[in-house]
Amino acid sequence: MSDRSDFTSEKYPELDSGPRILLGPGPSMVHPRVLRAMAAPLVGHLDPYFLKIMDRTQDLLRHVFQTKNQLTIPISGTGSAAMEAAVANFIEPGDSVLVCINGYFGHRLTDMAQRYGGEVVTINRSWGEVFTPEEVKEALVAHKAKVVAIVHAETSTGAKQPLGEIAEVVHDQGGILIVDAVTSLGGVPVRVDEIGIDVCYSGTQKCLSVPPGLGPITVSPRAEEILSKRKTTVPNWYLDLSMVQKYWGTERTYHHTAPISSNYALYEGLRLIAQEGLENRWERHRRNAQLLWEGLEELGLSLHVPKEFRLEPLTTVRVPDGVDDIKISMQLLKDFNIEIAGGLGELKGKVWRIGLMGYSSRAENVLLLLTALERVLGKQ
């Protein structure tokens, strides 16, 4: 048996990470108002006050998603939980599914779709490229699919997938479109209704700039109908949207205890977005990305994705020959408290990933990073 005196605060000190400038692929930095909201006293998950906050959060989420969809809720869990909710609810065993893979998260979607019994066909592009509507159409003509899944903002590659005509192609072929907007929502336009996305999900920790923990999802009336006509029950109890909706909708039936503080944080984060204005926020992300791109090129570095398809919240920059990518990012962390990330999968060792998401997307962060990078690269 160990004694109380074994657990000294020398051995187990108080949390103290020091300040960090988070310019990686997530989590992004959090506005002080959001941190304060998380420290607010708890109320019960069926307290009339909390029910009001839930309604307001849903209104604000609809605004950010640019949708009128009734079924719009934050899933309890990170972006991957929202991804799994999309897959678990809309893919039944034996359903044909098309997944467009041009990065890490396309692979994750494929893995999940297969686990839920989907008959998955994929189309593939190298990491950093995007799909054309014609490619999606060709694939659907060759292999009819009930569900098509695509990533809007590939955080592993820094490419932004144009969605415009893809929803139309999918609908013409009788399918529904699932879009991963984890790194785009709140940073670049995600116009769910205008584009015609059927199921769109995100996460709080990227451009919404709220700590990881919730995964907003929105479902079109067409997709809701598919949900109501499922032949089998959703095999994932926790993420069954019709059950979760009974708590978030008018019935207010207990399903699981809502993470109160995380929901407070999301509410405050969404209020900040509404106050800034969506258009202004997109413009801020664009402006700061532009500043970063120009600065990186001035340092003699080259960007991995052609400008046309570059994702403002996440930039991939090539590691110059002979430079140790990990050593540079560790040095940035040690000397400047700046976090950036290395490449994943096909891009491992080849790029750094620099995030300018939400509250992290500020000119002072860009200028500090550029200066720090110049110094650290100079030393190598």
Binding site residues, ligand PLP, CB under 6 A: 26, 78-80, 83, 105, 151, 153, 155, 180, 182-183, 203, 205, 212
Q: Is 98 or 376 the residue whose CB approaches ligand PLP more closely?
A: 98
* Alpha-carbon span 266 to 171, nearest angstrom: 32
Local structure of 301: helix, strand or coil: coil
Rg (CA), the chain: 21
* Alpha-carbon span 160 to 312, nearest angstrom: 8
Q: Is 105 or 131 the residue whose CB approaches ligand PLP more closely?
A: 105
314: its two tokens:
């996440």
Long-range interactions of 57-62: CB distance < 8 A, separation 24+: 57/263, 57/266, 57/267, 57/270, 58/248, 60/267, 60/270, 60/271, 60/273, 60/274, 61/216, 61/218, 61/270, 62/218
Q: Is 66 or 155 the residue whose CB approaches ligand PLP more closely?
A: 155
Q: Report the nearest approach of ligand PLP to the CB of residue 9 (Å).
A: 32
Q: Report the nearest approach of ligand PLP to the CB of residue 182 (Å).
A: 4
* Alpha-carbon span 216 to 160, nearest angstrom: 20
Q: Is 87 or 376 the residue whose CB approaches ligand PLP more closely?
A: 87
Q: Report the nearest approach of ligand PLP to the CB of residue 74 (Å).
A: 12
- What single string gives the DSSP state of each residue in 179-206? EE-TTTTTTS---HHHHT-SEEE--TTS
Q: Is 182 or 292 the residue whose CB approaches ligand PLP more closely?
A: 182
Q: How many CB atoms lie within 10 A of CB 46?
A: 13
Q: Is 270 or 376 the residue whose CB approaches ligand PLP more closely?
A: 270
Q: Report the nearest approach of ligand PLP to the CB of residue 302 (Å).
A: 23
Q: Report the nearest approach of ligand PLP to the CB of residue 215 (Å).
A: 7
Distances 154 to 72, 157, 247 between C-alpha atoms, Å: 23, 6, 32
Q: Report the nearest approach of ligand PLP to the CB of residue 184 (Å).
A: 8
